[in-house]
Structure 1
Amino acid sequence: MSTAIQVQKPMPSTINDQITLFDRDTEKNPTIRILEAGKKVLISSFYSDGLLLLRTIKKHLFRTMPNETFREQREFRTAYQKLSNLVIIEIIDHNLAVKKAPSIGWLKKLYPDTADFFLTFPQVQGLNSSWQWFENGIKIPALRNKIHPYYGTYFPTRFEHLDLFDNWLKRYDGPKKTAIDVGIGSGILSFQLVQHGFQKVFGTDTNPNAIVGLKESMGTTKLSRKIALDHASLFGKFDKQTELIVFNPPWLPQSQNLDKIDEAIYYNDQLFPDFFAAAKQQLLPDGKLVIIFSNLAQITKTATQHPIEQELLSGGRFKLERCFKKRVKAASEKTDRDQHWRAEEEVELWILIEA
């Protein structure tokens, strides 16, 4: 682990002597009332008991809350997070202290100096899933090799926007000396750039886990010589002008305080104005600004203005060269959310040049 950058990790939970124990034989309705009163519940026997209690919470909320519109689903998730994060589990010697629990390497990797502590059950679920992704890797259609996303680093689960970018790169005939990837995340866009012949890519991210994870996964490979990293916002320490700037910003406006992984999904009011102002200074006169976006905020009515369209109308810095759009695939039948708006969702690839 990098000593210069401190990774973000779940904060251990505190408990008191009045903790309520839960296993599969415990009465469920009284347990729900305990959680609604803001008191914590400890999973005490099997790992599957925690899964059972989370399903019980979800069923309870389905009975008591609407969950149809995009806004209602946000409120439902907030309520679920509030209750589920009162369900905790004990870690002893970097192992979950319940029967038939998964082995999670993050417990030792992220907490080398703390062997015994408590985490919420959703935090443990997140650590478990993330460990499997990190260990086994994730296949991305546009890349030759799997990615191994570090804990707390966003990675896409749909790929239409990556297909758009890959198709554009195949036709790109401009210089390929340098490019800057703002908000590099799990590194996919940078890997695509290198795969298509860019000599050097500079990547920044405000999420320390993204930078630490990429440094670790690239190691001393050829990629580590092709991709330079900086834990910083926007363009960080990379002050030289470049022929290509790539930006895959969050697609939804912020509605609450965010942690670092949520910053990959929700944008605040200043992100786009600050980005366009900085990009104006960073881009070479004949360079291109490539922004990957979506109409998700418009079709779910969480935003009234499209930030890229707004910049083109009033910013005076850039003009549109091309905009490519692609419909997304229908939502999985396995999801329990009503995502009817997906029929209208399009991903967008905006190519801007100097005005």
Structure 2
Amino acid sequence: MTLASMLQWEEGNQTRVAHWHSENGIAPHKRVVIADDTLTADDAYRLACEGTAILWRGDFQNARQLLQALVRRIDKPSKKSKRAGKRVDKSSNEAVQKTATDIFNQHRLIHSQRARILGMLLIECNADHTISLRRAPDVSLACLEAYGAVSESYVISLRELLGVISAHEWRKNGVPILADSEGEPIFVHPHYGVFSPVRGEYIELICNTPLPKSLNEESIAFDIGVGTGVLSIILALRGVQKIVATDMDERALVCAQENIEHLELGSQVEIVKANLFPEGRASLVVCNPPWLPARPSSSLEHAVYDPDSRMLKGFLNGLSEHVVADGEGWLILSDLAEHLGLRTRKELLEWIEQSGLVVLGRVDTRPKHPKASSETDLLYFARSAEVTSLWRLGIKT
């Protein structure tokens, strides 16, 4: 557990301290007040907006209700934002392209400010991960899974704690990825901090794209950035005899290993800690890098944001040295970054060519998640046009 520093506050005419934990890397709050069920939502919202953290000592379920009240106040659109929305000129494609990145940056700023305010409501957890509040749930197992064993009490935001609880439920119940030969669903169990395979379109691409013929001679594949292990599992179920899956994140390595063992695929899949590629060459190398070239604001965002497209470029630059001559590299990538003005198709094709690769083919699919059809979403103009592709890449001869 990464408990970087201490949180200090005044309570009962005494100065108290506890370890402070934030997955977002937020520093300990300088101003902290004690609050209970008598605090109104309006007062809590004012304090949070002013930068004052609220350490909760009342009923736990009332704290959850207070957090929802804060959400409603934050998400209520202002008259100013409504007027700004009406001024967007959608008649000119050129105008939309020029402002796409600005809209994306505005979207991130809004979410960052939202997270900052909602993160001001704090909960103290005991050294055994229990909570000493009325009607508090038993979160000890969920926190142990997320943070490991600790020796002292610590303080986290209620919002983060609820994320830990949700992650525990996902880990316990699993996420269906496909069906077996008898039509029964096959599940993977995401761990806290590991990106969950909730977007099924890229899974369908891996399931349906014909495997390269070179696998008939040497049935070895590499899975770069294993995450939950979902792509390795699909390749194993499709008959690939040996898959070497890599990642640098400890949570992902543990998560993938547990999923592989749960499905009894350990004889086919080997989990290795490595920066991108393992040693040797494979007939098939698959990679589903983060889709947006932007800086993550927390450790949990590394699965979404790839600063300067480092992982994408690293995969392309190293592929020719790790795939057999007649093998294939499969790059699963959304074009959302292109619609947001963060990357162009020309740049992507130039990176492929500069890496000594050629495009053998491409399989496209449309996203099915709710935001793609939500016109109230600030990024609807990009999400509605998004296409997810499996790029089949080979070595240039």
- Give me the TM-score of the superposition, normalised by structure 1: 0.86
More deviation in 81-90 or 202-211? 81-90
Equivalent pair of 1:201/1:228 in contact (CA under 8 Å)? yes
More deviation in 105-114 or 176-185? 105-114
Aligned length: 343
**Residue 163, structure 1, aligned to residue 163, structure 2:** no
Letter in 2 for 1:60: R
What residue is the counterpart of 2:137 in the other structure?
Answer: 102
- CA distance in 1: counterparts of 2:200 and 2:346, whole angstroms: 22
Equivalent pair of 2:164/2:192 in contact (CA under 8 Å)? yes
Partner residue of 1:188 out of 207, 218, 230: 230
More deviation in 176-185 or 243-252? 176-185
- Once the two structures are TM-superposed, the CA of residue 184 in structure 1 deviates from its matched residue by 0.5
What residue is the counterpart of 1:71 in the other structure?
Answer: 105
What residue is the counterpart of 2:50 in the other structure?
Answer: 37
Equivalent pair of 2:194/2:252 in contact (CA under 8 Å)? yes
Cα-Cα RMSD? 2.8
Equivalent pair of 1:66/1:72 in contact (CA under 8 Å)? no
User: Which runs of 5 or more structure 2 residues have no equivalent in the other structure?
Assistant: 12-31, 86-102
Taking a change above 3 Å as real, the CA distance of residues 301 and 51 of structure 1, as seen in their structure-2 partners, is farther
Structure showing greater radius of gyration is: 2
- CA distance in 2: counterparts of 1:281 and 1:191, whole angstroms: 24
What residue is the counterpart of 1:5 in the other structure?
Answer: none
Taking a change above 3 Å as real, the CA distance of residues 306 and 226 of structure 1, as seen in their structure-2 partners, is farther
Letter in 1 for 2:367: V
Taking a change above 3 Å as real, the CA distance of residues 12 and 152 of structure 1, as seen in their structure-2 partners, is farther
What residue is the counterpart of 1:329 in the other structure?
Answer: 368
Partner residue of 1:254 out of 294, 301, 316: 294
- Once the two structures are TM-superposed, the CA of residue 190 in structure 1 deviates from its matched residue by 0.3
Give the match's secondary structure for 1:198.
Answer: coil
1:295-310 matches, cutoff 5 A = 295-305=335-345, 308-310=348-350
More deviation in 71-80 or 55-64? 55-64
- Once the two structures are TM-superposed, the CA of residue 103 in structure 1 deviates from its matched residue by 2.6
Taking a change above 3 Å as real, the CA distance of residues 335 and 142 of structure 1, as seen in their structure-2 partners, is farther
1:1-355 matches, cutoff 5 A = 14-17=7-10, 19-62=32-75, 63=77, 66=81, 69-92=103-126, 93-104=128-139, 105-109=141-145, 110-114=147-151, 116-141=153-178, 144-169=185-210, 172-175=212-215, 177-219=219-261, 222-235=264-277, 238-259=278-299, 261-269=300-308, 270-305=310-345, 308-312=348-352, 314-329=353-368, 331=370, 337-341=377-381, 342-355=383-396
- Once the two structures are TM-superposed, the CA of residue 121 in structure 1 deviates from its matched residue by 1.0
- CA distance in 1: counterparts of 2:112 and 2:333, whole angstroms: 25
- CA distance in 2: counterparts of 1:97 and 1:337, whole angstroms: 39
Deviation per residue, 1:138-174 (Å, 9 max, x gap)? 11136652111111100122211111121104x5544
Identity %: 22
More deviation in 27-36 or 61-70? 61-70
- CA distance in 2: counterparts of 1:291 and 1:134, whole angstroms: 27
Deviation per residue, 1:238-285 (Å, 9 max, x gap)? 2111111000011111135542x3221111223333222211111111
User: Which runs of 5 or more structure 1 residues have no equivalent in the other structure?
Assistant: 1-7
Deviation per residue, 1:21-63 (Å, 9 max, x gap)? 3344312333223223322101222233333333333333334
Letter in 1 for 2:162: Q
- Once the two structures are TM-superposed, the CA of residue 293 in structure 1 deviates from its matched residue by 0.6
Equivalent pair of 2:296/2:305 in contact (CA under 8 Å)? no
Give the match's secondary structure for 1:323.
Answer: strand
More deviation in 277-286 or 263-272? 263-272
Letter in 1 for 2:348: I
